[in-house]
Homo-oligomer: A and B are copies of this chain.
């Protein structure tokens, strides 16, 4: 049998009070700018569910602050995390009418909630919007394809790859502030917490990283990490 995931039974308080204060305009990514205008700001507390698997996908979301995880639970309790979404990322966009994964706030999270029907209406008239939707789905596809490649690698390769990915995305140079727990990382990488922890220790001993505190990791030797990323 494989990893039995302990679903954290944290506080599931949902501070869903739709705050009315104006959001600071987020840099107009390739995605967005127009789409964002449709968004209503909303907040979720740590571990709050944003939507569940198989629920109607009436909304999509853009992360303003905080981190979101999407995941599926297998019948026997194993959890697979599909992705982590950081500020600027869009999630919950579906082509079909239901969400394929569940989504939860990892930290306190602020998002823009965007009505799908509104976007679709826009897309029906504006080709550029339609193109953006397709591009977003395509980008997601690429991400998932890369994730598959991760899952056939050794533990060391997975962890090294994960750190490099996170370093690129949070762009704090070589210092990475991890918003997610070891359990989250493990469920993303298809490993156990123990293996993730041990692998980090190995990488530290190999002088590839340092771990001043468990959520704070410094890449000391990117070349080495890249090399073992295979």
Contacts and interface: CB of A to CB of B under 8 A. Distances in A.
A74 B138 contact: no
Contacts of A134: 95, 130, 133-134, 137
A78 interface: yes
A151 interface: yes
A76 B96 CA distance: 37
Given A130-B130, A134-B134, A2 B152 contact: yes
Nearest to A141: B141
The number of times this chain is found in the oligomer is 2
Contacts of A6: none
Nearest to A149: B80
Contact of A153 (B2, B101, B137, B138): B2
A154 interface: yes
Interface string A116-132: 00000000100100110
A148 interface: yes
Contact of A137 (B82, B100, B141): B141
B151 A190 contact: yes
A190 B152 contact: yes
B144 A141 contact: yes
A152 B78 CA distance: 9
A134 B230 CA distance: 32
Interface in A54-102: 72, 74-76, 78, 80, 82, 94-96, 100-101
Contacts of A74: 149, 152-153, 230
Interface of A: 1-2, 72, 74-76, 78, 80, 82, 94-96, 100-101, 124, 127, 130-131, 133-135, 137-142, 144-145, 147-149, 151-154, 190, 230
